[in-house]
Amino acid sequence: MEQQEYSRYIDSVEKARIQQRYYEKLAGAFGRSGLQAQIVQEAQKKIKDAANTTLLHLSNGIWEIELVGDDQELEIFAKDNSQPGTPKRLFEYLSGGEKFRVAISLAVAIGQSISGGRTVDSLIIDEGFGALDEVNRDNLVKELTRLSDEVLSGGRVIIVSHEEDICEEFAHRFRISKTPDGLVNIERSAG
């Protein structure tokens, strides 16, 4: 009787070891260094490539980004291609205008990625132009028009801005204000 129990016990231990090896293989295949990591790396590459397409337009072919990290942490670096040998900089060390252009590029790229390759049809930008100089503001306006026509397939780029000169650059404008009695007044104008 004891021999039979001992044999069953050894049998169950061996089955448990086999299952443990199986689960360890699955964990290795799907864990941080396996399939999950490959999916994250591939998504990062696609997002980086799409973001760089937009960023190159926004920076007259000068700036590119690099995404460095894993599924736990990601760092964004910007590289100035106009000055070979210049070290790449972390996102937090970019100027306000540089950050804005990188952020727009990444937002469009992430939107494309999340939509499963379908074209995103709307981009909303709230007060982003203040950190840009005149040349870069003009580049951004041109790029937003290109994004609307080419990337968003005629979709909407909605800009919220208090800067009149920016507002005048776009074909369809809405001015939202309060009336003296506290009601909202919306005026539409076209350019």
Q: Domain coordinates of the chain in residue numbers?
A: 1-30, 35-190
Q: What is the pLDDT along the chain (191 residues), one digit of tens a residue?
A: 687 887 887 888 888 888 888 777 776 666 666 777 777 788 889 999 989 988 888 888 889 999 987 667 889 999 988 888 889 999 999 888 888 889 888 988 888 777 766 566 777 888 777 777 777 777 777 777 777 777 666 677 788 887 777 777 777 788 888 899 989 988 887 66
**Within 13 Å and on the Cβ side, how many CA atoms surround 28?**
6
Amino acid making up residue 143: E
Buried/exposed code over 47-67 (b: 16+ C-beta within 10 A; e: otherwise): bbebbbebbbbbbeeebbbeb
Rounded to whole angstroms, the Cα distance separating 103 from 138 reads 17
The CA dihedral of 50, 77, 130, 148, to the nearest 10 degrees, is 0
d(CA 92, CA 98): 10
pTM: predicted TM-score of the whole model, two decimal places: 0.67
CATH number listed for the domain at residues 35-190: 3.40.50.300
